[in-house]
Amino acid sequence: MSEFNPYQQPQSDVAVESASGLIVHAPVRRPLGAGTRWLSDAWALFVKDPGVWIGGVLVLWLVGIAAGMFPFIGYFLGVVINPLIYAGAYIVAHKSDRGDAVRFEDFFAGFQWRTGSLLALGGISLVIMVAVFVVLGLVGWQISGDDFSTLGANWAALSNGDAAAISQLPDIFYIKLLLIVLIWMLLLIPYAALMWFALPLVVLSEEMTIGRALKWSFVGCIKNIIPMTLYSIVLFLLILIGMIPALLGLLVVMPLLIISLYTSFRDIYVDAH
């Protein structure tokens, strides 16, 4: 592991010290089995305070929904303040991980800690997301052209399953639509990699800059694409299982998801090399 001088302002991609004593280092590669270990570690933290986690995540989810309900700007506002909303969950996870008592109000710590940086991160997320959709729109128009005009003109009928409207679309349209979906996924992958670990890096490391957080998040995801793929598959199965009993299982799965984002962050950026 590279040497770290706690008295020197960090200038290189080696390590950054947090006010809480947490030291993060440049992302390291973890083995395939780490994907399931992140979830098992998350479960261990969840069962320490299940009531606090269920209540806290539920309230954060409702706050996010409320922010998205503002006319015209709701969606954009939701993206910008999303880091503020969920930053507290990482703080709760970190406190629980180091053995401190956690409280319900800790979930709102994001509105009091590094607020400017978190809003800036949300703004960058929005800008990148808009850029992705602009590029997708331009590419989609070049690929489909008049087919998309037909789709727009018949959207209501298509939404209602009108067979006559559907029949107006040429067979090639569906091939083009599949191609556009694939391009959309390819555009979302780098966006997701940039943002995946950026929030815990910013909120848990006081000296972490947004630029470095985005860079380290991207590199961490790329280095750990194999365990993250396994993690995603297992998590998807857990979400499906959680939806079976009238969605009530999601009250457990959703906190587990958030905590597992913390445990994966800890494994890749905090634990010893």
pLDDT band per the 50, 70, 90 thresholds, residue 2: very low
The two structure tokens encoding residue 8:
């020197």
Contact 31/39 with Cβ under 8 angstroms? Answer: no
Count of Cβ atoms closer than 10 Å to residue 223 Cβ: 16
Q: Report the alpha-carbon angle 129-130-135, nearest 5.
A: 100
Q: Report the alpha-carbon angle 171-144-126, nearest 5.
A: 130
Residue type, 24: V
List, for residues 71-124, the tens digit of each pLDDT value.
777 778 888 888 988 998 999 999 999 888 888 888 888 788 788 889 999 999
- pLDDT given at position 67: 75
60-64, 82-86, 215-219 — which one is most confidently predicted on average? 215-219
SS3 24: strand
Q: Report the alpha-carbon angle 31-33-36, nearest 5.
A: 135
Q: How far apart are CA 156 and CA 30, in angstroms?
A: 48
- pLDDT given at position 90: 92
Contact 38/263 with Cβ under 8 angstroms? Answer: yes
The two structure tokens encoding residue 56:
């806290």
Q: How far apart are CA 119 and CA 110, in angstroms?
A: 10
Q: How far apart are CA 18 and CA 114, in angstroms?
A: 12
Does the pLDDT value for residue 205 go beyond 70?
Answer: yes
Count of Cβ atoms closer than 10 Å to residue 145 Cβ: 11
Mean pLDDT taken over the chain: 81
Does the pLDDT value for residue 40 go beyond 80?
Answer: yes
Please give the share of the chain, as a percent, with pLDDT higher than 70.
80
- What mean pLDDT do residues 183-201 have? 91
DSSP designation for 72:
T
- pLDDT given at position 81: 86
Does the pLDDT value for residue 131 go beyond 50?
Answer: yes
Q: How far apart are CA 262 and CA 245, in angstroms?
A: 27
Q: How far apart are CA 164 and CA 159, in angstroms?
A: 12
- pLDDT given at position 162: 61
- What mean pLDDT do residues 206-219 have? 92
Going 241 to 243 to 247 to 250, the CA torsion angle's sign is positive
The residue length of the chain stands at 273
